[in-house]
Amino acid sequence: MRLTRRLAGWLLAFGLALLLAGCNREHLHQQESYVFGTRVEVITWGASEQDARAATAAVLQEFDRLHRAYHAWEPSELTALNAAIAAGTAQIPVSPELAAMLTDAQAIASTGDELFNPALGQLIALWGFHTDTFTPARPAADALAAAIAARPRMADLTISGTTVSSRNRAVQLDLGGYAKGYALDRAATLLREKGIHNALINIGGNIMALGSKGEHPWRVGIQHPREPHPLASLPLRDGEAIGTSGDYQRFFELDGERYCHLLDPRSGLPARGTQAVTVLVTPRAHAGTLSDATSKPAYLAGERWREYTRRFGINHALRVDAQGRIEVTRALRDRLQFDKGITPANVID
């Protein structure tokens, strides 16, 4: 796994926002941590040092709570639910928060033809992605075939109030493609409650903007999936969120082939055909969550990526295909400043 490269790429992309803060740093408060298996950062603008520190501490504490509560393989409420599903328990009580998250994830999965599929935890574990460090290896053929044949889907769940049941005992939930976006929304809520109206929140490349940075909008970078520099940069407006799914974020190489953590539920194999998909969600309820979750079906859809972004009402999106060609929607192209020498191959509506 290229963890070092992933963090380096994140730093280069996110560094664009920091460069703009070179002047008037007395208005800027910045704090970072390591949560959700990635580096997170919260930057506020214009608040007093005391208020900024208190608000940022509350956000980082909330990130830590979410990480511990919904971890996919270390003991958590989610692993307890998975154990109960595997045991065939008929009615499983869960917290109101987890019930709401699963209901929302189920709706997103349905809209995206189950390409976004948090029920694939068993398959993710087989490929070795339920660990921070591992030895690259392909799953045993028989185990992989059995996991695919079981066809676990979010549609297998029945959620009634705070009770969950599953008609498929192979369902093993992993909210890794949802939780970071959910955490962005929680952070935005906490910051606003504490009187912070200008901030930039970054969780491993999933970014949400609140307000602006003084007289300028927050500006962020989209990481190049193959080079150690940004592909492009763009201004983020109040309430907007941006998320990227790419084969460069968590992957291993074996016998000259790249195996990324984005698994296609139809084949059970790491997805191919796309290097990265970025979506920008304009201000709406749950913008952070949508920026995280909706990039997955678009990524897995390959050449049909634009069909899936349309399903979620997303008009600002970009795809880098397997050959490195860039396709971008007209709405996003009008906002982007591409790095020197980079030109999109196709601009679409």
- pTM, 2 dp: 0.91
SS (H, E, C) the chain: CCHHHHHHHHHHHHHHHHHCCCCCHHHEEEEEEEECCEEEEEEEECCCHHHHHHHHHHHHHHHHHHHHHCCCCCCCHHHHHHHHHHCCCCCEECCHHHHHHHHHHHHHHHHCCCCCCCCEHHHHHHCCCCCCCCCCCCCCHHHHHHHHHHCCCHHHEEEECCEEEECCCCCECCCCCCHHHHHHHHHHHHHHHCCCCCEEEEECCEEEEECCECCECEEEEEECCCCCCEEEEEEECCCCEEEEEECCCCEEEECCEEEECCEECCCCEECCCEEEEEEEECCCCCHHHHHHHCHHHHHHCHHHHHHHHHHCCCCEEEEEECCCCEEEEHHHHCCCEECCCCCCCEEEC
Cα diameter, the chain? 60
Residue 243 φ/ψ, nearest 5 degrees? -140, 150
Q: What's the rounded Cα separation, in Å, for the pair 276 and 251?
A: 13
Give the pLDDT confidence score for residue 65 in this predicted structure.
97
The domains located in the chain, with CATH, are 3-69+182-348 (3.10.520.10), 77-166 (1.10.3980.10)
Give the pLDDT confidence score for residue 135 in this predicted structure.
76
Q: What is the pLDDT along the chain (349 residues), one digit of tens a residue?
A: 343 344 444 444 444 444 444 445 558 999 999 999 899 999 999 999 999 999 999 999 999 999 999 999 999 999 999 999 999 999 999 999 999 999 999 999 999 999 999 999 999 999 999 987 767 889 999 999 999 999 999 999 999 999 999 999 999 999 999 999 999 999 999 999 999 999 999 999 999 999 999 999 999 999 999 999 899 999 999 999 999 999 998 899 998 899 999 999 999 999 999 999 999 999 999 999 999 999 999 999 999 999 999 999 999 999 999 999 999 999 999 999 999 999 999 999 9
Burial 189-204 (b: 16+ CB within 10 A, else e): ebbeebebebbbbbbb
Give the pLDDT confidence score for residue 249 in this predicted structure.
83
Distance of CA 323 to the CA centre of its chain: 23
SS (H, E, C) 163-209: EEEECCCCCECCCCCCHHHHHHHHHHHHHHHCCCCCEEEEECCEEEE
